[in-house]
Amino acid sequence: MNTMNVKPDPAQATISKEALLAQPESSYMSTEQRHFFRVLLEQQLEETLDHIASLVAGLRDNERSADEADRASAEEEQRYALRVIDRERKLASKIREALERVETDDFGYCEMTGEPIGLQRLLLRPTATLCIAEKERQEYRERRYRS
């Protein structure tokens, strides 16, 4: 059965963030922790998709104005909305990828080193694929080659 199509009941997420952080390191990415992150990611995906839908609906509802200044303002708002939609779609894609990693038990581990990413980092950025040390190395290389 594909559990990604089954909506988890938030009431079944038996642990809070505080309880999650209080667990011993030996229970890293246990079934309970993966369930916590699955629920969190699915909630974020739903919110992101709802936001995209509302932005798209807002773009459709725009009226054309005869006033040149109003038209220019409306066009700028549309460009901004399109940029936000693009970013939200990219985020939705990253959330779906994270949900796939939860299902394959790869979630929570650095894709470069295989080391645990860490609960604190995953709570702040559940779509993270790199541990902090590897992310810092990546950013250092980007800065060095950009200069």
pLDDT of residue 65: 61
Over residues 64-77, mean pLDDT:
78
Q: Express each pLDDT in 1-46 by its tens digit.
A: 334 444 445 445 468 899 999 999 999 999 999 999 999 999 999 9
Confidence tier at 60 by pLDDT (50, 70, 90): confident
The residues, ordered by sequence, that sit 6+ positions from 8 with a Cβ below 8 Å of its Cβ are 35, 38, 39, 42
The burial of 102, by beta-carbon neighbours within 10 Å (0-12 exposed, 13-18 middle, 19 or more buried), is given as buried
Whether residue 95 contacts residue 45, with contact meaning beta carbons closer than 8 Å, is answered with yes
pLDDT value of residue 61: 76
- Domains annotated for the chain, with CATH where assigned, are 13-109 (1.20.120.910)
- pLDDT band for position 72 (50/70/90)? confident
Contact between 39 and 130 under an 8 Å Cβ cutoff? The reply is: no
pLDDT bracket for residue 95 (50, 70, 90): very high
- Predicted TM-score (pTM) of the model is 0.81
